Structure 1
Amino acid sequence: MFIFLLLVSTTAQGLILSGTPQSYAQYSKWYIAINSTLELEFRTRGEDGLLVYMDDGGYYDFLEIKLSGGGLRVRFNQGGGPELFSLGEGLADFNWHKVVEAKITIKK
């Protein structure tokens, strides 16, 4: 699996969550094709929080995108063991940030 993330700032409007543990949005299962793209926008004052989590039902594969200390952290596993990388910092500034070109390619 190949993931490429680019973080840019933009202005937008979106779903507003309260920030409590009971505050979340859940969507239908995403069936990843051979080449899939995920884009998201967020803004927050909180330095830590889960933005996206997907898995294969709890077996091996997962994708996690979260804020950690005000920076974006991406963790994933496509069967070869967990991978982790960080991107950006100072993102808890209540400005809109957009993650674009999160390209996922499944190796067969």
Structure 2
Amino acid sequence: LAHRGTLYGGCRVLGGSRGEVLEFGGVSGQWGRFPVWNACCESVLSFRVRTHSADGLLLYLDDEGFCDFLELLLLHGKLRLRFSIFCAEPAEVSSRVAVSDGHWHAVRVKRDWRNTSLEVDGKMEGWAEVKSKRKDMTVFSHTFMGGISPELHASPLRLTSPGVRDHASFAGWLTGVTVNGSVAVLEGSEGVTVGDRCGPAHVCQNGGVCSVVEMRAVCDCTNTGYKGNDCSEGKALPKPYLVTL
């Protein structure tokens, strides 16, 4: 795959462009590390995901072995968000829609003190409230996506939710990771390939032409006989049909 950014000891460090795609092979020991997300109070983390896999770890962060954590999983093709504050019973919210159909989906995790909500493709999938004595979440760890590092696997006492080690690594593609609208830069990775959004992993099907417009990929379905976000639906409109992913 074509890539931007610099390779340091197996870790590609990006400039933060939303045009780049991270490809995860689902192998053991893979991980992508982003800066600490200050998810204590009111904050939003967003990204786009594409996968054919039914299960895998998408997101994990915690207070390094004390009480607070947040994890987002693929479970039977749907998303499951689980979190805790101040060692309270973890709260959970799951998506009603599946995201393992091979199409790009926009995911939004919103922290609001004791509450956390989950959106998929602009629609609220649900929210949950943790019954904790403290209302703000403490975060010390980096934000891990696609898996956690072997060092953490080998040190369960550093993990607030040690069960995260039992989840399969994510297989698929992630792009457009942002916190409160600002691009989150990948600080390090292992087993992750960095490519352009319109590289071999692009989503345009049936001969649709992919291009990056305003840092987003768009599919031109003209003359393909199809329409939709990725030129996979029905018949094309009689005039040029340009859609934004």
- TM bucket, shorter chain: 0.7 to 0.9
Letter in 2 for 1:92: S
The count of corresponding residues between Structure 1 and Structure 2 is 96
More helix by share: 2
Give the aligned partner of residue 64 of structure 2. Answer: 57
User: Would you say 1:84 and 2:92 are equivalent positions?
Assistant: yes
**Contact 2:79/2:98 (CA < 8 Å) preserved in 1?**
no
**Structure 2 CA distance for aligned equivalents of residues 96 and 73 of structure 1:** 18
**Structure 2 CA distance for aligned equivalents of residues 32 and 22 of structure 1:** 25
User: Would you say 1:71 and 2:78 are equivalent positions?
Assistant: yes
* Pairing partner for 2:46 from 39, 43, 56: 39
Q: CA RMSD in A?
A: 1.8
Provide the secondary structure at the position in 2 that maps to 1:84.
strand
Give the aligned partner of residue 221 of structure 2. Answer: none
The alpha carbon displacement at 1:90 in A equals: 2.7
**Structure 2 CA distance for aligned equivalents of residues 13 and 97 of structure 1:** 16
Letter in 1 for 2:96: G
User: Would you say 1:28 and 2:35 are equivalent positions?
Assistant: yes
- Moved segments of 4+, more than 3 Å: none
Moved more, 44-53 or 76-85: 76-85
**Structure 1 CA distance for aligned equivalents of residues 57 and 37 of structure 2:** 18
Letter in 1 for 2:35: S
Provide the secondary structure at the position in 2 that maps to 1:26.
strand
**Structure 1 CA distance for aligned equivalents of residues 71 and 41 of structure 2:** 19
**Structure 2 CA distance for aligned equivalents of residues 92 and 32 of structure 1:** 27
The TM-score, its normalising length taken from structure 2, stands at: 0.36
Letter in 1 for 2:64: G
Letter in 1 for 2:97: E
Letter in 1 for 2:92: L
CA separation of 1:34 and 1:93: change in aligned 2, threshold 3 A? same
Letter in 1 for 2:33: Q
Give the unaligned 5+ runs of structure 1. 1-11
Deviations 1:11-35 (A, max 9, x none): x862111111222211222223531
Provide the secondary structure at the position in 2 that maps to 1:25.
strand
The TM-score, its normalising length taken from structure 1, stands at: 0.78
How does 1:83-102 map onto structure 2 within 5 Å? 83-100=91-108, 102=109
